[in-house]
Structures are given as structure tokens and as C-alpha cells.
Amino acid sequence: MQLEQIREEVKHILSEKRYKHSLGVEKRAAELGAIYGVDIEKAKLAGITHDIAKEMTKEEIFAYAQENGIQLSPIEREIPKVLHGKIGADICKKKYGFDEELQKAIAYHTTGAPDMDTLAKIIYLADITEENRTFDDLPKIKSLSETNLEEAMLYALNRELVSKIKEDKLIHPATLETRNEILKNRLK
């Protein structure tokens, strides 16, 4: 299916606000994709669809996982919000025939994963740095994401972990594992 058709479908699935965010992520993913030499069409496809399952209820998420044989870890049952990545990836695989690279980019955008590839990192960072976002250290992450993908990921993951700790919120182990993986590679 073509990008325009998928965009149109996503527009009908999501609220206006989240569709606007998704368009922002598509645009930002294309910008970062150009810098890091990934397929721009793929960057756009992953960007527009990354939150396709974001507005499903907890019940819908659990029912979808059960019906489609998607394994959920105990921690994921405690923080089902993160599952819109995994579920969204499965939806796009079945609906649009997305390949593994696209599925990973969507699946990993909520928690990160130690085996993230360039496209997955781009989507993770595009989600945070798209044009509708506003937060204090946005300029810092934005400029890092354009110059050093690994350092930008480390900064974004640290920021995410610190905020979860400050708010006494559960942390998905993949976020910590991803951060450790990037640090290990950086020290090499």
C-alpha cells in the first residue's frame, strides 16, 4: 500500500491531535533518514504509523495480544501503555505487509531495545523531536539527533529513565538494556 493511502487510514484511526503528531514524526523521520542514509520512504512509513495502536484501550490491547499470539511479559502487563509499539507493529505487518525493519522501528519506539537498528533509533528520536513537541532540553536532543545518533539515543534514554525514577514509575527493562548497550559500544 502506498504512503498516501496509509496516511489516510491513520488519519481515520487516530484523533486529530495524534494524527498531527504522527505527521510530525513522519516529517522528522524523513529529515533524520536523509542525514543517516536510511530509505526515506521507510522512515516516512514508520513515522506515520508508529502510534497506530496508541488509542486502543488496555482491554483492546490485551485482547489483541491474546487473539494474535503476542507474548506479553509480566512488566508489560503492569505498564500496558508501552504495548502500543508491539501491537502497532503487528497491526502494520498484517494490514500493510510491513517488513521486519519497519516492525522493529514501530515496536521499539516506546521502550527501546538493545538490538535497535538505525531506522528504529531514528523513529525513537523523531517521536521526541518532531515539530509539535515542546520541552526544556528539546533543542539539545534535536541538535544531537542531527549530529550523533548514538549520543542522542543515550541522552534521550537517560532522560526517560530519570523522569521515570523521579515520578516513581515502573521502568521497562528494555529501556535500561538499550542504554547499557549504547554505553558499552561507546566505551569500546
Out of 6, 23, 47, 51, the residue judged to bind Fe ion by CB under 5 A: 51
Q: Is 26 in the site for Fe ion (CB under 5 A)?
A: no
| Contact stretch for Fe ion (CB under 5 A) within 47-55, 93-101, 136-144, 169-177 | 47-55
| Contact stretch for Fe ion (CB under 5 A) within 50-58, 75-83, 148-156, 179-187 | 50-58
Question: Could you give the count of Cα atoms lying within 13 Å of 117 in the half-sphere of its Cβ?
Answer: 13
Separation CA 57–CA 41 (nearest Å): 30
DSSP structural state of residue 2: -
**Per-residue x/- marks for Fe ion, 71-110, CB under 5 A?**
----------------------------------------
Q: Which of 16, 26, 15 is nearest to 49 (CA)?
A: 26
Q: Is 130 in the site for Fe ion (CB under 5 A)?
A: no
Q: Which is nearer to Fe ion, 118 or 133 (CB)?
A: 133
Q: CA 64: distance to chain centroid?
A: 19
3-state class of 110 per DSSP? coil
| Contact stretch for Fe ion (CB under 5 A) within 39-47, 95-103, 124-132, 156-164 | 124-132
Q: Is 127 in the site for Fe ion (CB under 5 A)?
A: yes
Question: CA triplet 90, 27, 158: central angle to 5 degrees?
Answer: 70
Q: Which is nearer to Fe ion, 10 or 149 (CB)?
A: 10
Separation CA 81–CA 120 (nearest Å): 19
Where along the sequence are the contacts to Fe ion (CB under 5 A)? 51, 127
